[in-house]
Amino acid sequence: MSGLVLPPAGQRIYVNDVVMRDGLQNEPVFVPTEDKVALADALSLSGLHKIEVTSFTSAKAIPALRDAEAVMHQIRRVPGVTYAALVLNTRGAERALECQVDEINLVVSASETHNLANTRMTRQQSRRSLREIVKMVEGKMAVNLSVATAFGCPMEGRVAADDVLAIADEFVALGVAGISLCDTTGMANPVQIQQLCAGLPQRWPNTELTLHIHNTRGLGLANVLAGLSAGITHFDASLAGLGGCPFAPGASGNICTEDLVHMLQSMGYETGVDLARLLTCASHIPRLVGHDVPGQVLKAGPWDHRHPVPADFEETRARALARDNPSSTA
């Protein structure tokens, strides 16, 4: 890994939140539709670049998101925010079109085993199906292609970079608006991230390139730094650190949105996000899902938060100073 050269302070970094899809799909409880809508509306006012609101997939496979249409129809859309949804087949794309989604997110795994587990199709079958969707929605909505298990598969192990790039190249040539490289199970390390991503902004100059990172093994924010050093400026994250993949063993939560924003802003980058609003949104998540959440800034507060000094501070200081100047005491 070459030296970590980060972009200069002041550069704009774009943050996308996926808690409503990637986060809630992994929860055993069903969050009521009205709570989902309220969460989406609150996130919309926080300055996020993009919100992945839901998925138009089988209600049997993902029961937590069975109210996709109701949520999309009820949210209040804020100009400048992209509202996205996951789609796996043409029927899902039709549903997304009916709901006037801004962007659909298509998924194919770089790993054959994971793709079969996730979609019940081979990679070739998935790519053929997704090509049909791209053609079907052309001119009607934006398309993002997510390449899952781009940095490793829990069943197969390492995934060849050539396999990842071949999939992405194919869909860039088809004119998709964005490519997301996904560390689906948190297997990546900073060296991998930098090696795979180096040169990609130049390879696909007219394509929005996003890193979708999980914090399964605690390397999430370190991997963001490696992505920044490779020229990546768009990152997915999940409010409060919720998330995971139901079809990938050991896949725990995504990197935490508010922790990511806090780190970027502390380093002097411009995110456009109101961290205080974001933390307020995150504070409601434990109640919605019924358990504690991984987010750290929500627990500790931002780095510049100041606590009151101890009540006996002045007395303690006076005694400490007196030890250096005994003659001043009675």
Active-site positions read: 245
**Total residue length of the chain:** 330
Gyration radius of the chain over CA positions: 22
> Which distant-in-sequence residues (6+ apart) come within 8 Å of 63 by Cβ?
30
Q: Residue 255 phi/psi, 5° resolution? A: -60, 150
The separation between the first and the last C-alpha atoms of the chain, rounded to the nearest angstrom, is: 64
Give the integer Cα–Cα distance in Å for 201 and 197: 8
Angle at 248 between CA 244 and CA 252, to 5 degrees: 30
| Other beta carbons less than 10 A from residue 38's beta carbon | 16
Residue closest to 93 by CA, chosen among 59, 62, 135, 33 = 135
